[in-house]
């Protein structure tokens, strides 16, 4: 089996480290909403190892918080 890429992910309390092994492309993101947003935009790569519903919920809550709205 031939692989086009190998992806390594290390999730810790403060950061998410991602490496694309074949080209040694390394990224580190904060493990928070700002980091998730940055991860979605990183170098044209789409990192989708999160449950999309959880990520969408977190982004929605963050957007509401920026507007001073709390989730009830």
Q: Give 5-39 pLDDT, tens digit per residue.
A: 777 888 888 998 888 877 788 889 999 888 888 87
pLDDT number for residue 33: 86
Please give the Cα distance from 15 to 22 (Å, whole number).
22
Q: How many residues does the chain have?
A: 72
pTM over 0.85: no
Percentage of residues in the chain having pLDDT higher than 70: 75
Reported as a pLDDT band with limits 50, 70 and 90, residue 43 is: low
- Number of Cβ within 10 Å of residue 18's Cβ equals 20
């Amino acid at each position: 089996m031939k692989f086009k890429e190998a992806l390594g992910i290390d999730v810790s309390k403060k950061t998410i480290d991602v490496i694309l092994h074949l080209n040694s492309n390394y990224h580190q993101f904060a493990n928070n909403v700002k980091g998730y947003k940055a991860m979605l935009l990183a170098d044209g790569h789409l990192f989708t190892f999160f449950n999309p519903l959880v990520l969408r919920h977190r982004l929605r809550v963050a957007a509401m918080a920026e507007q001073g709205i709390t989730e009830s």
